[in-house]
């Protein structure tokens, strides 16, 4: 009997180990422990044995039943764990979000802000300070102090945004140029003065090359011996550094601005033969800024003696030179808040312009 039990145990253990599903394992259980199973048949045979044989066979058969039952349960647990693992692997769903790029990788600096930084870097290297003033100005600082007398026709050139009169009847306005900062600087800073004044300006105009709000930068030098030769040198050095070219050729044409005398428009030599304008080469000319010697009346209005001090000033549109340098066709796109545009034309936040590293490198 012991040999029979041992052989049956070995056979059943092999079948349990070979079962690769719960269905196959259930078939092994039924064949061993079911009503007609092999172990159940051994238990049924105990009634035909003598009392002495039952004392030996009974514990052996019941031990086999217990062992096979335990092995079947252990195998069932293993098969269920395998099935669960396989199901989880097949039904995996990643509910986590991908890591977002850092702001320094996705953010972009607007071209106007970049160009202002470039202008600041160039003129700071030349010894100029940066000056600022309010966007909302008085008629005095925007016009009268700059030699625009009341009723002067040049006032009509600016299409000014006026505010409603206050309780005193005074009408403030959105400044039409950054020139009021010249007066405010001369009133508060003792000569010699060397400043540049970038900022927002406002005029009632809108088309492909004009917007109601735009950006200007002006420069001012006041000293006892300032002259046009110095003005020309400053403009040439600025344009060479800004457009990153070896040399530029300028052409000065007589013009009229109430706050300068003489007044001049400045053209720069360029090449228009291709799809872009190339500065410092070719046979074409491009108007780029206005300048002149500061009018004695302006110096006097700022509280300085025009018989002692003289100076020069210049001004240009920041948006316009940004368009020229970086190949942008429409000024209105600067203010459309189109993410695609800023991703294309914008600058990485950490690409700070420096003269030694290259302004736009």
For the chain, what percentages of helix, strand and coil (3-state, to nearest 5) are there? 45, 20, 35
Q: For residue 347, give the DSSP letter.
A: B
Query: Does some domain include residue 350?
Result: no
Do 147 and 83 fall into the same domain? no
**Residue 356: predicted pLDDT:** 59
Do 283 and 172 fall into the same domain? yes
Do 243 and 287 fall into the same domain? yes
* Spatial separation of the C-alpha atoms in residues 290 and 144, rounded to whole Å: 20
Do 16 and 161 fall into the same domain? no
Do 82 and 116 fall into the same domain? no
**Residue 147: predicted pLDDT:** 92
* Spatial separation of the C-alpha atoms in residues 49 and 43, rounded to whole Å: 11
Residue 310: which domain range? 109-345
Backbone torsion region of residue 41, taken as left when φ is above 0, otherwise alpha when ψ lies between -120 and 50, otherwise beta = alpha
Strands of the chain, DSSP E: 129-130, 136-137, 173-174, 193-202, 213-223, 250-257, 260-271, 278-279, 284-294, 310-317
Q: Which residues of the chain have pLDDT under 50?
A: none
Do 225 and 307 fall into the same domain? yes
Query: Does some domain include residue 356?
Result: no
**Residue 1: predicted pLDDT:** 58
Nearest CA-CA partner of 266 in 285, 282, 280: 285
Do 71 and 115 fall into the same domain? no
| Number of domains the chain is built from | 2
* Spatial separation of the C-alpha atoms in residues 326 and 21, rounded to whole Å: 70
Query: Does some domain include residue 274?
Result: yes
* Spatial separation of the C-alpha atoms in residues 201 and 312, rounded to whole Å: 21
**Residue 184: predicted pLDDT:** 96
**Residue 150: predicted pLDDT:** 81
**Residue 361: predicted pLDDT:** 53
Do 238 and 155 fall into the same domain? yes
Do 71 and 118 fall into the same domain? no
3-state secondary structure 224-266: CCCCHHHHHHHHHHHHHHHHCCCCCCEEEEEEEECCEEEEEEE
**Residue 218: predicted pLDDT:** 95
Query: Residue 265: is it exposed, middle or buried by C-beta count within 10 angstroms (0-12/13-18/19+)?
Result: middle
CATH number at 225 reads 3.30.930.10
Contact 298, 322 (CB under 8 A): no
**Residue 3: predicted pLDDT:** 66
Query: Does some domain include residue 295?
Result: yes
Do 174 and 43 fall into the same domain? no
List 162's β-bridge partners, or say none. 173
Query: Does some domain include residue 357?
Result: no
**Residue 179: predicted pLDDT:** 94
Do 121 and 217 fall into the same domain? yes
Query: Does some domain include residue 49?
Result: yes
Query: Does some domain include residue 216?
Result: yes
**Residue 358: predicted pLDDT:** 59
Query: Does some domain include residue 77?
Result: yes
Contact 195, 128 (CB under 8 A): yes
Do 64 and 189 fall into the same domain? no
């Amino acid at each position: 009997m012991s040999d029979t039990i041992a052989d049956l145990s070995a056979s059943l253990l092999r079948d349990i180990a070979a079962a690769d599903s719960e269905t196959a394992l259930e078939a092994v259980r039924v064949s061993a422990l079911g009503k007609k199973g092999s172990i159940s048949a051994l238990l049924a045979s105990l009634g035909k044995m003598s009392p002495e044989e039952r004392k030996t066979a009974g514990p052996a058969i019941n031990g086999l039943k217990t062992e096979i039952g335990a092995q079947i349960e252990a195998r069932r647990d293993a098969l269920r764990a395998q099935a669960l693992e396989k199901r989880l692997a097949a039904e995996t769903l990643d509910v986590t979000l991908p890591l977002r790029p850092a702001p320094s990788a996705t953010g972009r600096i607007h071209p106007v802000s970049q160009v202002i930084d470039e202008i600041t870097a160039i003129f700071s290297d030349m010894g100029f300070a940066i000056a600022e003033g309010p966007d909302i100005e008085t008629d005095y600082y925007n016009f009268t102090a700059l030699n625009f007398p009341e009723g002067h026709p040049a006032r009509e050139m600016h299409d000014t945004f006026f505010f409603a009169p206050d309780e005193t009847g005074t009408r403030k306005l959105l400044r039409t140029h950054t020139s009021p900062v010249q007066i405010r600087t001369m009133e508060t800073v003792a000569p010699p003065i060397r400043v540049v004044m970038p900022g927002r300006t406002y005029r009632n105009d809108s088309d492909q090359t004009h917007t109601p709000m735009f950006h200007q930068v002006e420069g001012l030098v006041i000293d006892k011996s300032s002259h046009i030769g110095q003005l020309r040198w400053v403009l040439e050095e600025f344009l060479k550094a800004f457009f990153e070219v070896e040399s530029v050729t300028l052409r000065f044409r007589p013009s009229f601005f109430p706050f300068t005398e003489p007044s001049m428009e400045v053209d720069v030599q360029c090449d228009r033969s291709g799809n872009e304008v190339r500065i410092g080469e070719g046979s074409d000319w491009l108007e780029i800024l206005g300048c002149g010697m500061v009018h004695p009346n302006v110096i006097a209005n700022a509280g300085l003696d025009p018989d002692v001090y003289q100076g020069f000033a210049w001004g240009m549109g920041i948006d316009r030179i940004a368009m020229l340098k970086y190949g942008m066709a429409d000024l209105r796109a600067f203010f459309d808040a189109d993410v695609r545009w800023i991703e294309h034309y914008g600058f990485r936040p950490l690409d700070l312009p420096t003269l030694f590293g290259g302004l736009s490198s």
